[in-house]
Amino acid sequence: MRARRFPLVLDRVGGVTTTAKGVPRSAQQARRPLRDAAEYATREQSPLGLGLDSQVVRARMVERLRSDGAVCEPVLVALAAVPRHRFVDSALVAQAYEDTALPIGLGQTISKPSVVARMLELLFEGRAAAVRGSLGRVLEIGTGCGYQAAVLSLLAQQVISLERLRPLYDRARDNLAALRRDNLRLVYGDGRLGHAPNAPYDAIICAAGGDDVPAAWLEQLAIGGRLVAPMRSDFDAGQVLLVVDRSVDGWSRQCHEAVQFVPLRSGIA
């Protein structure tokens, strides 16, 4: 008998036929991020001999984030559920729960837990999330190693995650295999173009810094939706977290704290 395949949906832009089936988007699914996170945390307890699989280790990371000002409970619960050490190189697992960015190859990094928490918190403050009780349909630009996509899958109705670098796309696919989430789709493609087939999105989040928000993202953001991305500041050469909200009247922008992300690039490689 053929083994049952992991239900994570894989895709590629550019005319390649997808293996995806429709992803359920019921209101019930949209409102169960805390329950899903709890179920996943319970499932993810296989000892590795590293002292990192315990929920206690992740709980300590979350308590540090909380003491530093993180207040969005669904985000904190999801961060406590996802084993970050499974998404970093084996030589760096001892640093997995420190508040630091870590290299994942090809000049890319896994973001600091505090930055992930802050960006997701900003998404949750958007109007669509307040109405739904979850992030709804999310577009993530820059899958990287897959860590943030894993967290998002516990907070959203559906997650479409784009990665332009094939080795990282493949790595994320492998890293996410144990998650077994049917609401998560990986797409190999140019993130600057977004992903029109599943638009509009209630939330868009980017893990790379650019000079300005690509027009495709603005068009693919739903009315009532919110976008969070690191972008160049108008006041200096650095990056800030930019929040864009879309209403029936257009788009409004807010700049938040300074950050430092890898550059946002076009094309696939």
Instruction: Scan for tokens 């409102």, then name that residue.
Output: 31
Which token pair is 236?
């200096």
Q: Is 111 a catalytic residue?
A: yes
**Of the listed 67, 111, 153, 233, which one is catalytic?**
111
- Phi and psi based region of residue 22 (left: phi greater than 0; alpha: psi -120 to 50; beta: remaining): beta
Which token pair is 262?
């890898």
Q: What does 195-262 look like in DSSP terms, one character per residue? A: -GGG--EEEEEESSBBSS--HHHHHHEEEEEEEEEEEE-SSSSSEEEEEEEEETTEEEEEEEEEE--P
Among residues 110, 95, 104, 92, the alpha carbon closest in space to that of 207 is found at 110
Sheet bearing 184-188, strands edge to edge: 9-12, 184-188, 158-163, 137-141, 201-206, 221-232, 239-247, 250-259
Among residues 78, 65, 72, the alpha carbon closest in space to that of 147 is found at 78
Q: How far is residue 88's CA from residue 112's CA, in Å, rounded to a whole number?
A: 12
**Beta bridge mates, 108:** 105
Q: Which residues are catalytically annotated?
A: 111
